């Protein structure tokens, strides 16, 4: 019958390639962001994030009238 081993199939794992974060100064981050992004500044880090974090919030914001 079938050979019983404790080995998993070798080709099933997918390698996730992570891109290392880009270190930016505050000025570089402000130049880099899009209209739908914000720059978060804390004492230890500078982060770029989306203005609306979830996909549903982004869709809702796109449908809402612009009051800028």
Return the higher-pLDDT residue of 2 and 43: 43
Residue-wise pLDDT for 15-67, tens only, equals 889 999 999 999 999 999 999 999 999 999 999 999 998 999 989 988 987 76
Q: What is the per-residue pLDDT for 43?
A: 95
Query: Per-domain residue ranges for the chain?
Result: 26-63
Per-residue confidence (pLDDT) for residue 20, from 0 to 100: 95
* Residue indicated by tokens 């880099």: 32
- Distances from the Cα of 26 to the Cαs of 9, 35, 48, 51, 65, in angstroms? 47, 16, 10, 17, 31
With 0.75 as the threshold, say if the pTM is over it.
no
pLDDT tens for residues 29-38?
999 999 999 9
């Amino acid at each position: 019958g079938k050979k019983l081993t404790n080995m998993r199939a070798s080709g099933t794992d997918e390698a996730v390639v992570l891109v290392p974060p880009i270190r930016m100064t505050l000025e570089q981050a402000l130049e880099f962001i899009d209209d739908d992004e914000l720059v978060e500044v804390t004492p230890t880090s500078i982060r770029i994030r989306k203005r609306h974090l979830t996909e549903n919030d982004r869709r809702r914001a796109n449908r809402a009238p612009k009051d800028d």
